[in-house]
Amino acid sequence: MKARKRISCRGTVTLETALVLSLILLPLTFAAIEYGWLFLKSQQIANAARNGARVGIRYGAIIPNDVTATIDTLMTAAGMDKSKSGYTVSFPTPPSLPYSKALTVRIVVPRINIDVMNLPLLPKPDTLGASVTMAKEGP
């Protein structure tokens, strides 16, 4: 009689474990998807800022137009329109040497505009952004 009772308990424990484990793993799966997506978008924003700065530091580059065109192209290719992303291009005060003028490109995107799943249980940053500073080339 005791052997028969143990066998039926083993099946119940296995079933309960399967149900509880699936309920625990479901939010972890969604969190992994969400954080992976945000990491991908963060890398795309950093790439756009870096390429925009590279275009802007070239000798003879038209700073606002060339940089913003490059950033717009890369951000649109990454699925983030100009209406969803805000970026600023700023220059520090000009130093005495012409080769040491720096170009700073900063891109900031509100997270809500690029969110895959808006799960309120997960802690996430309000904005994703990147900032790149490079020295200008040429005289």
State both tokens at 68.
């913003």
Q: In degrees, to the nearest 5, what angle opens at C-alpha 78 toward C-alphas 73 and 80?
A: 80
CA-CA-CA-CA torsion sign (28, 30, 34, 40):
positive
Regarding beta strands 102-110 and 86-90, do their DSSP bridges make them parallel or antiparallel, or are they unpaired?
antiparallel
Query: What does the pLDDT look like over 3-37, one tens digit per residue?
Result: 555 555 667 888 888 889 888 898 888 888 888 99
Q: 42-80 as b/e, with b when 16 or more CB fall inside 10 Å?
A: bebbbbbbbbbbbbbbeeebeeeeebbebbbebbeebeb
Neighbours of 111 (CB within 10 A): 15
- pLDDT tens for 55-101 read 988 888 777 788 889 988 998 898 887 776 666 555 554 444 445 57
Note the pTM of the prediction, 2 decimals.
0.76
The first and second tokens of residue 118, run together, are: 């808006």
pLDDT in tens, 72-83: 899 889 888 777
Which DSSP string corresponds to 48-89? HHHHHHHHHHSTT--HHHHHHHHHHHHHHHTT--TTT-EEEE
Break the chain into its structural domains and give their ranges.
Answer: 2-135
